[in-house]
Structure 1
Amino acid sequence: MFGKVVISFIVALLLLIPCSILVATLDVRSYYHRSLATLNSPVVVAPAPCSTHLLPLRVYMYDLPRRFNVAMLHRRNTTDAPVTVEDFPVWPNNSGLKKQHSVEYWMMGSLLYGGDESSEAIRVLDPELADVFFVPFFSSLSFNTHGHHMTDSATKIDRQLQIDLMGILRKSKYWQRSGGRDHVFPMTHPNAFRFLRDQVNESIHVVVDFGRYPKGMSNLEKDVVSPYVHVVDSFTDDEPPDPYESRSTLLFFRGKTFRKDDGIIRAKLAKILAGYDDVHYERSVATGENIKLSSEGMRSSKFCLHPAGDTPSSCRLFDAIVSHCVPVIVSDKIELPFENEIDYSQFSVFFSFKEALEPDYMINQLRRFPKQKWTVMWRQLKNISHHYEFQYPPEAEDAVNMLWRQVKHKLPRIKRSVHRSRRLKIPDWWKKRLF
């Protein structure tokens, strides 16, 4: 009996010695909590094999004939060769409200430009290296140019462009490989691509009014919410000694007051806000002169009203941001761009439809709004307004780079969807389960 105890003790001792050596060599705590010395050391840790957060998004852009994009800017240009960085046209100054839907133009320009160290996306010429595929079809400009009245003969051109485009894409092995799931389509006009939307439901859409699109098409897991391109000039010299007192108007609105759907609130607000000396609520249409007057009004107002139009969002919100006028957003279902990075409550005030339509309620809230809190919001507007600038060439953290970063955030979901589509015999089988 004593011999068995001795043998057991020796075996245990033999097992304990190497374990002790291992524990002494490896500090388990340091595995989970790096010491200050480790954090300050010049050790470079390589990213994981599947990590892409440190790398720009690799984008393959289809070389489409110009009739699908820039030829719509200059109708006399009949060349059908794909546009290059050398002949990429300047966005025309006389484009009017078409500019607010021009996101597709700026995204294309960012890829043609080639990028630099601040770029969130770079163009790759080999599609085998691409993370996503950009389709440079100006679907919003096509609607505004060819199908704006939705009944005239020009609408046929918009429809035919969509048919021709899908004919090109269906022949692409990269479209076939993913079913279009890794293809990016800018569609910032609510009627963009309206004839063949069902054929691109699985693709990544860059939209401004998420709630306007059919439920089967819109999906925040894959789609990206974009700002409108602002039409007023940015306020670049906004440095008064007392910004609050320098803005004499409490609340400003200038725009169309008769809209459909949720936009009917504008006509109701016109009645509720009538008679206040410090409120400017004016019916107006978008002309060059009226846009200039709107800019002046926003720059001289503390708050800028943003009620729903035909859609939950409108260009007015982003005009207010670049004018450093604190937005007053009246909407029950608006989706806002870059919200995973930007907290709108830091520079905006929100009211529900019910609150806004209660007589005196909204105005009393704004009149009691603390000056110090408003000033903090005004400064925050100045700090974040560059995120809403569309420009060519693109600059670090501007709207285009922010949009590409949003697409990059969708990449894991896109890859999962593509990989699953290749092996599933019954697509989306879980939706057909009976509970």
Structure 2
Amino acid sequence: MSSKSINIFIFLLFLLRLASSDRTSDCSNRWIYIRPLPSRFNFDLLSNCSAYPLFDDFCSYLPNHGLGPKTHNHSLSWYRTDPILLEQFFHRRILEYPCLTQDPTLANAIYLPYYTALDALKYLYGPEVNSSNQHGLELYNFLRKDVPHIWDRHAGHDHFLVISRPAWDFSQPFTNDPPVWGTSFLELAEFYNVTSLIPEGRAWGWQEQAVPYPTSYHPSNSVVLGSWLKRVRNSRRNSLMLFAGGGGVAATPNIRRSIRNECEGYFSKVCEIVDCSNGICEHDPIKYIKPMLQANFCLQPPGDTPTRRSTFDGILAGCIPVFFEEQSAKSQYDWHLPQHIYDEFSVFIPKEDVVFKGLKIVDVLMSMPKYKVRRMREKVIELMPRIIYRRHDSTLPMKNIKDAVDIAIEGTLHRIQSRLKSVSVQ
């Protein structure tokens, strides 16, 4: 589908949603205006899906508005989802939001449908690698010149966007000469007031709020979701713990190496490893979901960055997460996984105790009473709907069930409201 056809489809869907929003009972303090952007900032970037061989070709994962192709023809909810397309399917989902307005002066928040991570590819892997400090300036210039009062009203404090790669990829200091890895998008003073919804934020990032990595599961209605919840609850957990991932083979001591060394000393009933090296699991959920359904605990060590998609895959399978540093989740996803309940659904083992003090992970987990493990799993299952991204255009409403997009929008509105209040009193 061409970018022009996509734009026509989006416009028609937008009008339909506006008509339905007129019947919404209460949209006070919830109005969102979708800022129209030229297609070069979003849909045109999808047509470059094979332009950066060093990154990989993601063309085959564009179907279903970025959810990807179904894992098999008769699948009701499983897709081969590529995380970098979170920007695309979040955009599609927000078009269904019931409180959209065409008047930006009435909006409580302004959504920028800018595919930030896709636009970054030309700086990370393409010909503009030496100009990575320019990432985002073209968008800023457009916002200031095209209907400038929308931006000027609150200097961007009421704007938000979605970024589908970790913040570290957009945090290159301007002082780096020559440039190293990443762009400087999040370092731009021009966008400092804009809320960025991102899979992994920095501990000190003013503008970032972490949202869950997308899994491959996107239920279309509450019946499908209920069926999956039942399967997860009734699944037989034959192994104590599982690690799905790569790494841990280097000689340097680290938590992944410690996990592999420990697991190799036990039978599979105690510890199982699903080798996902070189991204072989990323688009094939059957490789890891079935083993996760059979494990009590899923080990979630940090890698190149603290967080990982596997955390949410494990929760989706009802597998109790085991974290080794707080930045892996607790200090990140407080909208979707509130900090005060982490002890109710997860286990924390400091990585230093494992790597340098000889603490055995299996000893910690086996010492936990069975009743506590059952209670933790029930909490994981209770939280599961909060971390999934349901399919767009659901045939049956999810009723009172809030998914990752619903919670992200709700959190963003509260965040912007708080920001505007603090700015107004200064």
TM superposition score normalised by structure 2: 0.70
Task: Tell me which residue corresponds to 1:279.
Answer: 271
CA shift digits 1:369-407 (9 cap, x unpaired): 222211122222222211112131374411101001111
Q: Is 1:100 equivalent to 2:83 in the alignment? A: yes
Task: Tell me which residue corresponds to 1:320.
Answer: 314
Task: Tell me which residue corresponds to 1:110.
Answer: 93
User: d(CA) in 2 for partners of 1:141 and 1:263?
Assistant: 35
Q: More displaced, 329-338 or 246-255?
A: 329-338
Q: Is 1:352 equivalent to 2:335 in the alignment? A: no
| 1:180 partner amino acid | G
User: d(CA) in 1 for partners of 2:360 and 2:324?
Assistant: 13
Task: Tell me which residue corresponds to 2:323.
Answer: 329
| 1:257 partner amino acid | G
Asked if the contact 1:328/1:351 (under 8 Å) is kept, the reply is yes
TM-aligned CA distance change 1:232 to 1:257, over 3 Å? farther
Which protein has the larger Cα radius of gyration, Structure 1 or Structure 2?
1
> How do 1:26-425 residues align onto structure 2 when only pairs under 5 Å count?
55=28, 57-75=30-48, 90-93=65-68, 99-115=82-98, 122-143=99-120, 145-147=121-123, 150-153=124-127, 155=129, 162-171=136-145, 172-190=148-166, 191-192=169-170, 194-197=183-186, 198=188, 199-211=190-202, 215=204, 218-219=205-206, 223-231=208-216, 236-237=227-228, 239=230, 243=234, 246-257=236-247, 264-277=254-267, 278-285=270-277, 286-287=279-280, 291-334=285-328, 335-337=331-333, 338=335, 339-340=337-338, 343-357=341-355, 358-391=357-390, 392-393=392-393, 395=398, 396-420=401-425
- C-alpha RMSD over aligned residues: 3.6
Asked if the contact 1:98/1:141 (under 8 Å) is kept, the reply is no
CA shift digits 1:87-119 (9 cap, x unpaired): x9622525998732444334322332242xxxx
Asked if the contact 1:69/1:136 (under 8 Å) is kept, the reply is yes
The count of aligned residue pairs is: 342
Please report how far the alpha carbon of residue 159 of structure 1 lies from its aligned counterpart in structure 2 after TM superposition. Answer: 7.4
Please report how far the alpha carbon of residue 131 of structure 1 lies from its aligned counterpart in structure 2 after TM superposition. Answer: 1.1
Please report how far the alpha carbon of residue 255 of structure 1 lies from its aligned counterpart in structure 2 after TM superposition. Answer: 1.2
User: d(CA) in 2 for partners of 1:68 and 1:205?
Assistant: 16
Residue identity (%) = 20
TM-aligned CA distance change 1:297 to 1:189, over 3 Å? same
TM-aligned CA distance change 1:91 to 1:102, over 3 Å? closer
Asked if the contact 1:302/1:326 (under 8 Å) is kept, the reply is yes
User: d(CA) in 2 for partners of 1:248 and 1:208?
Assistant: 31
Please report how far the alpha carbon of residue 259 of structure 1 lies from its aligned counterpart in structure 2 after TM superposition. Answer: 10
TM-aligned CA distance change 1:114 to 1:243, over 3 Å? closer
User: d(CA) in 2 for partners of 1:377 and 1:210?
Assistant: 26
User: d(CA) in 1 for partners of 2:82 and 2:290?
Assistant: 19
Secondary structure of 1:251's aligned partner:
strand
TM-aligned CA distance change 1:98 to 1:264, over 3 Å? farther
- Unaligned regions of 5+ residues in structure 2, if any? 1-25, 50-62, 71-78, 172-182, 220-224
User: d(CA) in 2 for partners of 1:304 and 1:241?
Assistant: 14
Asked if the contact 2:31/2:109 (under 8 Å) is kept, the reply is yes
Structure 1 stretches of 4+ with a deviation exceeding 4 A read: 94-98, 154-161, 232-236, 238-244, 339-342
TM-aligned CA distance change 1:126 to 1:341, over 3 Å? farther
Asked if the contact 2:157/2:416 (under 8 Å) is kept, the reply is no
TM-aligned CA distance change 1:146 to 1:264, over 3 Å? farther
| 2:94 partner amino acid | L
TM-aligned CA distance change 1:265 to 1:211, over 3 Å? farther
CA shift digits 1:67-97 (9 cap, x unpaired): 3223333459xxxxxxxxxxx9622525998
Asked if the contact 1:263/1:309 (under 8 Å) is kept, the reply is no
Secondary structure of 1:125's aligned partner:
coil
